[in-house]
Amino acid sequence: MRSSLIRFTCLLLLSALGSPAFAQKIVIISDINGSYGSTEYHSRVSAAVEEIIQLEPDLVISAGDMVAGQKQPLLDQQHLDQMWASFNRVVADPFNEAGIDFIVTPGNHDGSAYEEFEIEQKRYQAQWNERLPDLSLLDGSDWPHRYALWLGKVLIITIDGTRPGRLQETDLNLLRATLEREGPKAQSILVVSHLPMWPFAQGREKEIITDPALTALLARHQVDYFISGHHHVYYPGKDDNGVGHLGVGPLGGNARKIVGQSTREPFSFAVLEFCDSGYRISARKAPGFVEDVPLTSLPVSIKGQTGSLQRLDLSEEYPAEPTTPASTSEGLPADASVFDVTGEETDPIVITFSNGDKTVAFIPMIHVGTPAFYQAVAEKVKEWKEDGATLYYEFVDFDSLDEQNKRKARRLVGILPTPKMYEALSGSGYMGQNNDDFLGLVNDKDVNVDVTAEELIQAYEEEFGPIEVTGEDATSDLSEMTINILPGENVTMIIQGTRNQKVADAINNGPDADIVLLFGGAHGPGILADLQANDPGWRRVQ
């Protein structure tokens, strides 16, 4: 909904740097509680927490129902505190120990706004008073019931949405004031509630927030997503005003059926990934939490009192799904996130694939990282080469171009992506990738399997016509960025598609049986998809 101020950034980072360094990754969990009064959690909750920690998100949000209150007769303080202690042991403490920020919104089972559950509200307050997030709360916040904060360029506002019908005036006032004051500065806006505004689940059609003032407020301020739990189903969609709504699936309790469906939805958690030019939403499903819930398994729309909610992938504003390799049932990773790197790892990711005749150890790379990361990658390369592997690596030499073609390349990528430029982009404690750190280790079996800079420009111009260089692009210093980047979908097709195919062809048709591959993490899914398109025998091995 919100136009990007710097449209090239996401593409630049995904295509050139190889991993979205400026992206924000948020995980949302909801409804993890067991039966009324339970002080135990299903084993899938711990499994989900472990997988979430592996994803290294910037933030985890709970959309409510963390413990199993609201029991009649009412639970006493001792029992409530036992439930929260169990929650801390299974969920909150592991996130804290992993250094992952964790924020919450109340649910009807842990902090209901109804007066008769005052003791549960007080224990909810006491629990979270001791666990303030490291993120700064904005003016007007009333942690942990309703508050607002920034995560990078993403504005997050949580409300007490524990009662159906109209929103409480205190929550509406916080929303209104925060959106008016902070909304214009946001690249993306999320509002988090326990109850949804749409009837996602069978049997809970009336357990929704129905408030015309809220609907108008979200539309007026172009809120990107209203995130909720309670209905125990996953559903992402866009309403008639263009506002997104994300129903988050459960990890505890019982899974439910989406309206119009005959089967129960899987237990799951949701993942939102933001960057300057877009976002991606997915849900990881039990038991392993490595496969996504297919959007095509969900209804194309959901009817409500205010209109229709259209499934997210059918929205014109939603970016096309990235090319990904086949699902784990076919031996390949379930989604692109397994290739994500930050450039700060001291034990680099290695994803190994084989077709029976050849083996590839794929080490996802990023062009700006810490010296420790690149040293650790060099050690991995050395280990594989000592075992007889050949190093395949990426490098497009843009320095070899004449000035006119350098200016064309800058329009293609947004910057002139040379080692000198990456070094300039690196901050304190970071450095630009230097392939000299990886070449010549053990032996000289090193092969550049990338395209040339000339081939990249030629491929674009053959497909889409000449790259024009006019105005400031013809005269500005080449060390400066350009805002006149070429159409994103065209650039992705060339920078990723052309290069991915070149790597896959080198692997499939080359003489080497054992390969260690250093390439940008964002290219991993496409390379592996191209490998399997040529030979379906390619699959992941442990």
pLDDT (tens digit per residue) in 469-483? 998 889 999 988 776
Mean pLDDT value across residues 407-421: 89
Band of the pLDDT at 323, cuts 50, 70, 90?
very low
Give the residue from 282, 314, 346 where a domain finishes: 314
- SS3 for 353? strand
Domain identity same for 342 and 423: yes
| Contact of 85 with 123, CB cutoff 8 Å | no
Residue 280 has pLDDT above 50, yes or no: yes
Backbone phi and psi for residue 93, each to the nearest 5 degrees, phi listed first: -65, -45
On whether residue 396 sits in a domain, the answer given is: yes
Is the pLDDT at 198 greater than 70? The verdict is: yes
Based on the fold, state whether residues 310 and 332 are members of the same structural domain: no
How many angstroms separate the CA atoms of 449 and 104, rounded? 47
150 and 281 in a single domain? The answer is yes
Do residue 299 and residue 268 come from a single domain? yes
Lowest mean per-residue pLDDT among 67-81, 168-182, 184-198, 299-313: 67-81
Q: Are residues 536 and 480 in the same domain?
A: yes
Q: Which of 171, 179, 207 has the alpha carbon at shortest distance from 65? A: 207
Range list of H helices, 72-222: 77-87, 93-97, 118-129, 169-182, 212-220
351, 321 Cβ separation under 8 angstroms: no
Do residues 359 and 257 share a domain?
A: no
Q: How confident is the model at residue 62 (pLDDT cuts 50, 70, 90)?
A: very high
337 and 278 in a common domain: no
**CB-count exposure of residue 357 (10 Å: 0-12, 13-18, 19+):** exposed
pTM: 0.59
- The reply to whether 400 falls in a domain is yes
> 354 and 310, same structural domain?
no
**Is 269 a residue whose pLDDT tops 90?**
yes
Of the listed ranges 6-20, 31-45, 328-342, the one predicted with least confidence: 6-20
- Give the whole-angstrom CA distance, residue 113 versus residue 127: 16
What CATH number did the domain enclosing 146 receive? 3.60.21.10
Task: Please report whether residue 4 resides in a domain.
Answer: no
CA-CA distance, 124 to 412, in Å (whole number)? Answer: 52
Residue 321 identity (one-letter amino acid): E
**Residue 373, domain member (yes or no):** yes
Q: In this predicted structure, which of 144-153, 229-238, 252-261 has the lowest mean pLDDT?
A: 252-261
Domain limits for position 268: 23-314
- Final residue in a domain of this structure, among 314, 349, 376: 314
340 and 392 both lie in a single domain: yes
With 80 as the cut, is the pLDDT of residue 155 above it?
Answer: yes
10 located within any domain: no
Domain-located, residue 9:
no
Report if residue 142 sits inside a domain: yes
Q: What is the pLDDT of residues 161-171, one digit of tens each?
A: 999 999 999 99
Assess whether 345 and 400 both reside in one domain.
yes
| Mean of pLDDT values over 16-26 | 56
How confident is the model at residue 103, as a pLDDT? 97
pLDDT grade, residue 37 (50/70/90)? confident
Quote the crossing angle between the two packed helices 118-129 and 77-87, to the nearest 10°.
Answer: 40
pLDDT tens digits for 81-93? 899 999 999 999 9
Token digits for 487?
């159409």
Listed residues 290, 314, 338: the one ending a domain: 314
What's the number of domains the chain is made of? 2
User: In this predicted structure, what is the pLDDT of residue 23?
Assistant: 62
With a cut of 90, say whether residue 271 has pLDDT above it.
yes
Domain identity same for 370 and 255: no
Average pLDDT over residues 172-182: 96
**Contact present, 412 and 494 (Cβ < 8 Å):** yes
pLDDT-wise least confident of 250-259, 314-323, 496-505: 314-323
335, 388: one domain: yes
Considering the domain boundaries, does residue 253 fall inside one? yes
Beta bridge partners of 281: 272
* pLDDT value of residue 34: 84
Average pLDDT, the chain: 86
Quick check: 244 and 211 in contact, CB under 8 A?
no
Q: Is 277 exposed, middle or buried (0-12, 13-18, 19+ CB in 10 A)?
A: buried
Task: Assign 449 to helix, strand or coil.
Answer: coil
